[in-house]
Structure 1
Amino acid sequence: MRFKALVLILSVLAGAVGIAWVQAPAASACSCAVSTVPEFVEFADVVGSGTVRRVTPPADQSSSAAATTYLVDLDAVWKGPAVAEVRMLSAVSSASCGLEGIGQGDRIILFANGSGPLEANLCGGTWLYDDDTAAELTSLLGAPMAPLPAPAPAPGAADLTAWTIVVALILGAGVAAGAVRYGLDR
């Protein structure tokens, strides 16, 4: 009887140590400080307005911080490069400060950071377009710039790519045939 009690006590103790030893994954939650439009402008590299053309959710949504990709057609730019189209990343969930709730066809005011794909979040000011915010941006930064149209592909660029593939395939086939022939001659 004493042996069973000792085994039970040691099992409970080992289980408690095992549970305490394993660390829980870090939790994340979005908590934004109240900010003003001038503060959003100060911290953003790009400030503009436009329409969301496409929203591409992450392939793996097991994390609320996984990146959703937004393709936005800009119609006005107050700060940053005046480009017609931007690609922007944001967490998939508002729990991780993502732009959850913004979808294809929505017109937004964008406060984003970066230079390649831009990054935006719930705490940075990016949200649905409203005239009051646009007027405040114009008051702070002056009239917005019209974005420059995206450069058109060079004439014949697609033809050049197709020819490159054809030539590479022919050269590859020639090298493979030469290797087989060389192997047979030995």
Structure 2
Amino acid sequence: MQESREEKLNYIMGKIRPFNDFPSKGVLFRDICPLMKDHKALCATIDLFEEYVKQTYPMVDFIVGLDARGFLFGPLLAQRLGVGFVLVRKKGKLPGPTESVSYTLEYGQAEVEVQADAVEKGQRVLLIDDLIATGGSLHAACELMKKCGAEVLGCLVLIELKGLKGVERQGSTPVFSLFQY
């Protein structure tokens, strides 16, 4: 018997483990390691992303994963959808010609990059990551895809930390999250 969306969500939620005061005092960290090691939870997560994408974006060319946890879900989803997977990495991690975008962190600057030939003008992409907090890295990755000429359809995340308002930073780019805290 096929599990319902709610049953899958409840099962996955049971595999997200909270840790108080990590990585620093006052932070409640949401650990997805138990989800990743549980085959049923991992499959249910990809099922729910796949269902959403097929209903909302039937025409997508690439899933774009953010370094590093977008690399966990992105290839699995891309494989299910029958499309390719593109890596957005931290600066200096990719060989060959690259395109990059810098963004502001709480205490400094960071840069993300993609290989220059990763996407072609007009190709439709969905970005994926494990979590959206302040939204800086996801916004930078969207801007990077646009700089390369891709059409950014939207973003997918497992967890949205609502209090940090990262979705607002994405402007008109839709963000789909399985869980909001």
Q: Into which bin does the TM-score normalised by the smaller protein fall?
A: under 0.3
Q: As a proportion of its length, which structure holds more helix?
A: 1
The structure having more radius of gyration, on CA atoms, is 1
Q: If the length of structure 2 is used for normalisation, what is the TM-score?
A: 0.22
Q: If the length of structure 1 is used for normalisation, what is the TM-score?
A: 0.22
Q: As a proportion of its length, which structure holds more strand?
A: 2
